[in-house]
Amino acid sequence: MGRSRWLVLFLVLAISACGGSRGAVEHTNTGLQLQEQGLFGEAIAEYDEAIRLEPDYTVAYNNRGEAYRNLGQYERAIQDYDKAISLDLKLALAYSNRGLAYNDLGQYERAIQDHDKAIGLDPKDALAYNNRGAAYLGLGQYERAIQDYDKAIGLDPKMAIAYNNRGAAYAYQGRYERAIQDHDTAISLNPKYALPTTTGAWPTQAWGSTRGPSRTTTRP
């Protein structure tokens, strides 16, 4: 399962911009705090209450979807992203997050469609390129994946995950020296990438959005 971007906070949205009442905003903020602690079930309960108070509260649907995605409940997550998108057709983070859920389900073509839409709405979103690259990687289209990782790194040269994932794509191509260079860079930026996998395979990750997300969750 791809790692979500719920730790990346994009911006604080005004209550009037989100359409949420004060009570709905308070429950959504509490849900976000719980989500940041990995308490996804508890976060969902807060988002449920926010939606009860404001049935058209876009942020709560997006954030609840990301909580469901982190619990591995991908179909439930997609339902919430669908609702968020129906309420705001220009919400790039909801397309990006839905694309991640399709990534998780192995539905890579549908994931790419959503990532394309997210990038079209926010062309400077480095994580969206990383996430689309993960979908191309899943399809075995390594050059297309590398192009997206190149773009992500160009937009954010300190994005360790993009170096890690590009290294994986190079490894799948048998370009091991390039792979090692990228993994060295990823480790220098974030030592967690030094941890070996149980299979010995090159690990890859996609992140969700809170701008989303995810980049997966947005502050109300």
129 touches 165 (CB < 8 A): no
Percent of the chain with pLDDT over 90: 75
Residue 13's Cβ-count burial label (10 Å; 0-12, 13-18, 19+) is middle
Q: Is residue 52 part of a domain?
A: yes
Q: Is residue 9 part of a domain?
A: no
192 or 6, which is more confident: 192
Cα dihedral 68, 15, 34, 46 in deg (nearest 10): -60
Q: How confident is the model at residue 69 (pLDDT cuts 50, 70, 90)?
A: very high
200 touches 216 (CB < 8 A): no
204 CB-near residues (< 8 Å, 6+ apart): 134, 137, 164, 165, 168
Q: Is residue 144 part of a domain?
A: yes
Q: Is residue 152 part of a domain?
A: yes
Say which residue the tokens 């429950």 belong to. 27
| pLDDT tens, position by position, 119-159 | 999 999 999 999 999 999 999 999 999 999 999 999 999 99
209 or 176, which is more confident: 176
Domain residues for the domain of 41 are 15-194
162 CB-near residues (< 8 Å, 6+ apart): 126, 129, 130, 133, 149, 152, 153, 156
Q: Is residue 203 part of a domain?
A: no
The mean pLDDT of 181-200, rounded to a whole number, is 77
Task: Name the domain count of the chain.
Answer: 1
Q: Is residue 199 part of a domain?
A: no
The mean pLDDT of 195-209, rounded to a whole number, is 47
Q: Is residue 74 part of a domain?
A: yes
Q: Is residue 209 part of a domain?
A: no
- CATH number, domain of 148, equals 1.25.40.10
Local structure of residue 215 (DSSP, 8 states): S
